[in-house]
Amino acid sequence: MSRGRHQRRRHNADRWAGTMLTDLHSRPAGPGDIISQTLASNRLGVPSVVFFGVAGAAPLTVIIGAISTIYAVVGNTALPLVYVVVAAILSIFTVGFVAMSRHIVNSGAFYSYISHGLGRELGIAGALVALAAYSMMQAGLFGLFGVVSSNVLAAVGLNASWVACALVAWAIVAVLGMLWVDLSGKVLGVLLIAEIAVVLIYDLVMVANPAEGSVSVATLNPSQLMTPEVVAMMVLAIGGFTGFEATVVLSEEAKDPKKTITRATHLAVLLAGLMCALSAWAMSVGAGTTRIVADARREETDLVFTLVSPHVPDIMITMGYLLFMTSIFAALLAFHAAVSRYQFALGRERILPSRWGYTHPRTGAPVVGSITQSVLSLGVILGYSAAGADPLVQLFGYLTSVGGLGVLILMWATSAAVIAFFLRHPHRENVWRSKVAPIVAFFLLSVILFATVVGLGDILGLADDSIFNWAFSAGYAVLAVLGALWAAIVRYSRPDVYAAIGRGVDNRLVPDYLEPPMPHSHAMALQSHYPTSTN
């Protein structure tokens, strides 16, 4: 019988990992202890974190590009309400998401939460999905920035290729990524405030000049939500919010992270949702509810400018185009920060090589992660240019859509992780935050994720027999399996590293269980790796 109990302990890795992590954290950190490396703390207040979250969602880019595209592609006028519904779903998800952030402060965000809630193997699986998703989101945006900025320069008589414009943006983002995070927050703040101001002016102009002679609220009729196209519209609309969740990635650099991240994340979702819903409704008023779909198909991304140009000075149109360009740049900077911090979190815990876990001694920026993302995105820009690929469709359209799928997978998995985490810690939050909201969010995100996976080929405009209808979703599944296998290997080859997965910078273990004795085999391995002090 004693052998049976020993065997059961031996194969319960989470239990002995807790004991091991507690032991590791009780030892003084030496100069080479990568876990002691930290990001610059106490840098960001609520406004700066909100700027990162909303900038990632790129509201002006969504309003100019995504809203007119959804009207044109789906042909349904329920879009303003769809944005409200999506914002409500993501707000419900955010309840459990930020509740967990109050107990786990880690720049690994999704990765850390999944490892705490669903286990270390699935945590590493989530980490690989996050790295791929956010890297594709950022790299894809360079295609849109290049095309938009090239067109803006052409309008004033300057000729520049999309590649040249993308490389200028790449260089600026690469430099800012190595500097103080609050500097990037200030840059984003200036750009975002100007962006929101122009959006509100455009909305007021469209509402003040209704195409049908009076302001119509027909697109706000709730009965439209019963139409079969609504799920497809939700799938497309949710991409306009991608980036808000990156607020939690900045938790280690925030002032009073438990309060700052909670407030900032809720504000980022509400602000993005209200702006998109208001603008979608204003566009339907400016064009007319019976003409909005046809106008969107004809004008495409110029729809907003076509609607407001007869009523505002030319300078306002020029500012709109310039801020469209800076909106994309702000999203580039926000996603760069997210990717580099995910890499930092994995390097600090030695899942990636330890160099990724170091920060710049003066700026506190994750140096190697920032450089790595810059090199990857440079390779994508140059590769697409050499291949002669379409920067709008094949770079921006494909990569950001597939990246958005990855973020949706992470939100879905994190909802499950929140449920599991608070089942083990039932008294840390109230019932709404720990059970009701996460369960509702998991169900709703399951529906949207299923619809996204099934309809991804249609979103990308692929032929029915194209291999890419299922290849992108399968690619994420392969990454997840590889991550889980890697964690399983680490579990037996480097048990000290396995114990630290997702546990973050503050050396604080969230106790998941009563700690039993450590398995004999792993205790011997740890003792040989860390000899007991004679003091």
Residue whose pair of structure tokens reads 């810059």 in the numeric block:
374
State the amino acid at position 165 in one-letter form.
C
Query: Alpha helix locations (H) across 156-216?
Result: 162-176, 181-208
Which of 393, 400, 403 has the alpha carbon at shortest distance from 479? 403
- Out of 36-45, 177-186, 255-264, least confident range: 36-45
Greatest extent of the chain over all pairs of C-alpha atoms, in Å: 87
**Which residues touch 118 (CB under 8 Å, ≥6 apart)?**
413, 416, 417, 420
Mean pLDDT along residues 80-85: 88
Residue 95 has pLDDT above 70, yes or no: yes
**Which residues touch 238 (CB under 8 Å, ≥6 apart)?**
86, 90, 404, 408, 448
State the amino acid at position 107 in one-letter form.
S
Length of the chain (residues): 535
Residues 508 and 255: their CA atoms lie apart, in Å, by 18
Each residue's pLDDT tens digit, 220-236? 888 877 777 777 778 77
Residue 84 has pLDDT above 80, yes or no: yes
Which of 360, 317, 339 has the alpha carbon at shortest distance from 135? 339
Instruction: Note the pLDDT of residue 419.
Output: 92
- Out of 154-163, 413-422, 443-452, 523-532, least confident range: 523-532
Query: Is residue 470 a contact partner of residue 452, using CB atoms and an 8 Å limit?
Result: no
Instruction: Note the pLDDT of residue 364.
Output: 64
Instruction: Note the pLDDT of residue 338.
Output: 81
Q: At what angle do helices 437-460 and 398-424 cross, to 10 degrees?
A: 160
Instruction: Note the pLDDT of residue 507.
Output: 43
Q: If 0-12 CB within 10 Å is exposed, 13-18 middle and 19+ buried, where does residue 27 land?
A: exposed
Check residues 524 and 456 and name the one with the higher pLDDT: 456
Where does the pLDDT of residue 107 fall: very low under 50, low under 70, confident under 90, or very high at 90 and above?
A: low
How many of the other CB atoms lie within 10 Å of CB of 245? 26
The reply to whether the predicted model has a pTM over 0.85 is: no
Each residue's pLDDT tens digit, 337-360? 888 878 887 888 788 887 777 776
Across the chain, mean pLDDT equals: 77
Residues 39 and 360: their CA atoms lie apart, in Å, by 9
Share of the chain above pLDDT 70, in %: 76
Mean pLDDT along residues 416-439: 88
Residue 298 has pLDDT above 60, yes or no: yes
Residue whose pair of structure tokens reads 């059970």 in the numeric block:
435
Percent helix, strand, coil in the chain, to 5, is 75, 0, 25
Where does the pLDDT of residue 512 fall: very low under 50, low under 70, confident under 90, or very high at 90 and above?
A: very low
CB half-sphere exposure, 337, CA atoms < 13 A: 37
Residue whose pair of structure tokens reads 């595209």 in the numeric block:
69
Residue 532 has pLDDT above 90, yes or no: no
Residue 388 has pLDDT above 80, yes or no: yes
Where does the pLDDT of residue 525 fall: very low under 50, low under 70, confident under 90, or very high at 90 and above?
A: very low
Handedness of CA 41, 42, 46, 51 (dihedral sign): negative
Instruction: Note the pLDDT of residue 45.
Output: 55
Query: Is residue 348 a contact partner of residue 501, using CB atoms and an 8 Å limit?
Result: no
SS3 122: helix
Instruction: Note the pLDDT of residue 531.
Output: 45
Residue 414 has pLDDT above 80, yes or no: yes
Mean pLDDT along residues 9-22: 50
Which residues are 44's β-sheet partners?
254
Residues 60 and 195: their CA atoms lie apart, in Å, by 7
Query: Is residue 286 a contact partner of residue 209, using CB atoms and an 8 Å limit?
Result: yes
Instruction: Note the pLDDT of residue 33.
Output: 33
